[in-house]
Amino acid sequence: MVEYKLDISQKSGTAQTFTVKEPESRALLGLKVGAKVDASVVGLKGMLRITGGSDKAGFPMRSDVQGGVKAYVLLHKGKGFRSNEDGVRKRKLIRGNTITEETYQVNGVLEE
């Protein structure tokens, strides 16, 4: 059984959290970061653009890693890495850009 926490932000600055269960969650399975889906999955009007997410262990999704796999990637900026110094790089474990059954949270923006 696939279940997702769907965090949807709107242009007004507000955000809502929805729990999406079977069979509506199957519409999100296999989508990539940046893909658009009809927001009727959660009962809203408009289109929903996927902006990211995380898996059950909290590892963030990155759009530059293909597939739904976990991988160690050398990062210097962006999602999944914070540094106070310039020029610092570190190998971090992150999740790929595809929504799988291991994905727990999906972030999105509502576009009308």
Tell me if 94 sits within 8 A of 80, measured CB to CB.
yes
Tell me if 42 sits within 8 A of 20, measured CB to CB.
yes
Q: Give the structural domain span for 40.
A: 4-111
pLDDT at 41: 86
Number of domains in the chain: 1
Residue 1 reports pLDDT greater than 80: no
Query: 52-109 pLDDT, tens per residue?
Result: 999 999 999 999 999 999 999 999 998 889 989 999 999 999 999 999 999 999 999 9
pTM score over 0.85? yes
